[in-house]
């Protein structure tokens, strides 16, 4: 429920009509919710590193919405580290459309993920999303036990 509380703080912040900079309490509450989620053993378990990476990614997006550039950058780097994603920027000549006659320089994002064992039987199904949903249910149950 602390993860959901952080999400609700971000939604509340986005719907405010007044100057968003006047709501530091929402940012503090959002950060506290994510930090509480980080303290749960299910998120820190090595077997659930995908869940932890998703949590850090969401935290980064929320920080970005609160205009906290440094917090977002830190959370994105942590998610990248946990997930094993390696990225680099490069360039190449190419054509964006079939109508383009000359090649122009293009920005390329090269991404490489760490290799994981893939279950080919369930490829194309949404089982991974169901697993994350189950993990979030476990977080809610663990959060309720602490209260």
Provide the pLDDT for residue 138. Answer: 61
Q: What is the pLDDT of residues 54-74, one digit of tens each?
A: 889 999 999 998 888 999 999
Q: At what angle do helices 49-65 and 2-15 cross, to 10 degrees?
A: 20
pTM over 0.85: no
For the chain, list residues with pLDDT below 70. Answer: 18-22, 44, 115-147
């Amino acid at each position: 429920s602390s993860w959901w509380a952080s999400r609700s703080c971000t939604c509340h912040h986005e719907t405010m009509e007044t100057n968003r900079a006047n709501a530091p309490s929402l940012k503090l509450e959002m950060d506290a919710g994510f930090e509480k989620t980080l303290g749960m053993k299910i998120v820190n378990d090595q077997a659930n590193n995908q869940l932890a990476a998703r949590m850090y990614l969401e935290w980064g997006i929320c920080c970005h919405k609160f205009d906290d550039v440094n917090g977002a950058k830190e959370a994105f780097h942590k998610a990248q580290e946990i997930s094993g994603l390696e990225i680099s920027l490069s360039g190449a000549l190419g054509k964006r459309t079939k109508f383009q006659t000359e090649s122009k320089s293009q920005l390329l994002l090269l991404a490489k993920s760490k290799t994981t064992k893939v279950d080919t039987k369930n490829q194309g199904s949404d089982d991974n999303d169901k697993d994350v949903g189950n993990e979030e249910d476990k977080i809610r149950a663990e959060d309720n036990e602490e209260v």
